[in-house]
Chain A
Amino acid sequence: MEKISVNKEIKVALAGNPNSGKTSIFNALTGAHQRVANFPGVTVEKRTGRRRYNGYNFQFVDLPGTYNLSAFSPDEKVARDFIINENPDLIINVIDSGSLERGLYLTMQLIEMGVDVVIDLNMWDEAKESGLEIDTQKLALLLGAPVVKTIGNRGQGIDGLLDAAVGLVENKDKGHRHPPVTYGPKLDDIVADLSQEISSCGSCRACRNPRWVAVRMLEGDKDIEGEILTHNRNRARVRSRLGQSIKHIRTTTKNDPEFALTEGRYGYVAGVVREVVKRPTSDRMQLSVYIDNLLTHRFWGYPIFLLLMWLIFQATFKIGAYPMDWINAGASWLQAEIGSLIPAGIISDLLINGVLGGVGAVAVFLPNIVILFLGIALLEDSGYMARAAFLMDRLMHYLGLHGKSFIPLLMGFGCNVPAIMATRTLESRRDRILTVMLIPMMSCSARLPVYVLFAGAFFGAHAGNAIFSLYLFGVAAAILMARLLQKTLLRTAETPFVMELPPYRWPTWKSIVIHMWERTRIYLNKMGGVILIASVILWGLGNFPVKKEFSQDYDAQIAQYSSQNTPEAKAEINRLQILKSSEKLEYSLIGRLGHATLPAVQPLGFTWEMGISIITGFVAKEVVVSTMGVLYHLGDETSTLIKTL
């Protein structure tokens, strides 16, 4: 290879199906760390990266994973528009070697668009293990595109991809053409006629690739049709020809043109696959069937599922509680340290209670989130997630949700924050929104102290039943809400459930760590900021305006008692401090808000003390209990509070 073209820019887009390992190829190409998916539709945003290789400056764009470029879904539209508008020098088309057929369907569409394609047969190792043999030379010949074998999650074959890309770019002028996709003689003729009408214009943008435009118009692509009918000089004839062609296809194939073409394209792909693949009966698939026999068994399926859920739940919230304690202890220690360094006053208070308290509140969820996503990553990467959806779909379908929504909802009983994070595993936006709206109805563990307080106060001996019915009530409310939302705000059609049940596989540590880190990072970036700011604002509301004059001189009295070292004196100090903070809180903005909202909560039988407690509960639900303790001048003892109420 000549080295004259130093610093030449090569713009590459990565396209491929969801699940094809496209993200891991992107990581290997650019060195950026991302989440590796084992379930459709995870890469939604556009990611870019750079790489220098043999004197070339590569610029990579990771397109959303799609099966199709028909521009019916937002992901497909993003991918298609990028290819049309940004004109990448070439596309690396990542294909899961194990499902070559589906991957090549997208390849056909890329080739039709007239872009240069490097075909990346990814997960080569798995295909090989399962006994699949692919004749790559023949494939390259049939498609007129270089074919490279890679193992994305181990970074193998990446140089081969880059070499093939350089080769394509350097030989562009040599007319490296892909043979046209054929749809069978009848359809080919119709497409050819229409594309001739389009190209006779000779000046508009669409004329550059009339065949693709013709196909897209027949497939009912309104964007493309709109462009032709405004810019093409021959638009009147194109329009009438389009109408004739559509009718013609309908009569000859007894099918919609869109599906006639889709099936034609699939037929072509099937032909190619038949030529290049030797497929012995797959042991791995067979093994999967055996595992399925147990895991989705009529009797054992649910117990095993519930056991796994229980394990993840316990690990997240029980094991997670230990590091949470350490974080809390660490935060308190730090608060005390800073308190001793900076003279007491408004600034030290802001630092200690506002900022550090806020950071603590953010950090305290970290163990939950890391452990929960470790569990989810294991489920996804092993292939069990799809089975969980398979098992739960019947129930979730009743709520208008996909089977996968079960896990976030269940985690809601532990803590809403990680549960809402877990909705990121859902594919469709609608499902995510609906699930997020239902999660708050699940009584999280932080609400338990509040329940215990009120149930103890009002139901006495029946407290246990009262608490249990609160949980049930939450679930019932969620069901009602789901039914209601479906009929009102979220009326868009339910996502189709049909999905792949991928063969089981051993998850790799690397991919799981990347998974966890990616989710944790999102939490810190997106949620961390919000929680931190909200904590500081609430701190401000609870401390301003500063109360200077109290009904009694608490400080003097406290000072007086602190010289004595008797238990009575300590109790007295404690009592005085509570009285002081109670007055302070009542005087602050939160206290005033509590008083101001009294007319709204009074009909519920609430007092202003309860109103204030509800507001402080925004930070964390269990805070309601401690605020009430302060306001009723009782301290933290739940039992005495129960008696008072």
Chain B
Amino acid sequence: MLEISGAGALRRRFLDLGLRRGEVVTMIKAAPLRDPLQVSLGYGHISIRRSEASLITVEVILDGKDIRK
């Protein structure tokens, strides 16, 4: 994970849930209606909307069908 943008409450929420620079995230899947995504992060799973995830820039380390998280 390279860069996190976004402001205020959302950004703080990211950090509270452990989303921060240098962290390795793994895309697990999207919800059946395609919107919220399920992402694994170190020790747990989180759910995140696409609009929220688009504020995060990632670098692809392995494989990866979906590049833009």
Contacts and interface: CB of A to CB of B under 8 A. Distances in A.
Nearest to A387: B47
A417 interface: no
B43 to A, nearest CB: 7
Given A296-B29, A493-B9, A102 B36 contact: no
Interface of A: 67-68, 70, 72-73, 98-99, 101-102, 105, 259, 262-263, 266, 279, 282, 285, 288-289, 292, 296-299, 301-302, 386, 389-391, 393-395, 397, 403, 493, 496-503
A297 B46 contact: no
Given A259-B11, A262-B15, A101 B43 contact: yes
29 contacts: A67-B12, A68-B16, A72-B12, A99-B44, A259-B11, A259-B15, A262-B12, A266-B18, A292-B28, A296-B31, A301-B32, A302-B32, A390-B31, A390-B38, A391-B32, A394-B35, A395-B33, A397-B49, A497-B52, A498-B13, A498-B17, A498-B48, A498-B49, A499-B47, A500-B44, A500-B45, A500-B46, A501-B38, A501-B46
B2 interface: no
A384 to B, nearest CB: 13
Nearest to A495: B9
Contacts of B36: 390, 393-394, 403, 497
Nearest to B38: A501
A298 B12 CA distance: 31
Contacts of A288: 45
A285 B14 CA distance: 21
B10 A496 contact: yes
B31 A102 contact: no
B34 interface: yes
A298 B32 contact: yes
Contacts of A501: 38, 44-47
Q: Is the interface of B mostly helix, strand, loop or mixed?
A: mixed
Contacts of A105: 16
Nearest to A277: B43
B68 interface: no
A414 B47 CA distance: 30
A493 B9 CA distance: 10
A497 B9 CA distance: 11
A302 B33 CA distance: 10
A394 B44 contact: no
A330 B52 CA distance: 54
Contacts of B29: 296
Given A101-B43, A285-B44, A301-B31, 20 more contacts: A72-B9, A102-B17, A263-B15, A279-B43, A282-B43, A285-B43, A288-B45, A289-B28, A289-B45, A296-B29, A296-B32, A299-B32, A391-B32, A394-B33, A395-B33, A397-B49, A497-B52, A498-B10, A499-B46, A500-B44
Nearest to B13: A496
Contacts of B21: 263
A121 to B, nearest CB: 15
A70 B12 contact: yes
B17 A397 contact: no
B55 to A, nearest CB: 10
A496 B9 contact: yes
Given A499-B46, A500-B44, A502-B44, A101 B38 contact: no
A73 B35 contact: no
Interface string B1-30: 000000011111111111111000000110
A288 B8 CA distance: 32
A68 B46 CA distance: 19
B60 to A, nearest CB: 21
Interface in B37-57: 38, 42-49, 52
Contacts of A297: 32
Contacts of A101: 18, 42-43
Nearest to B8: A72
A70 B10 CA distance: 14
A9 B66 CA distance: 59
A302 B34 CA distance: 13
B46 A102 contact: no
Nearest to B19: A498
A302 B12 CA distance: 32
A394 B31 contact: yes
A242 B43 CA distance: 37
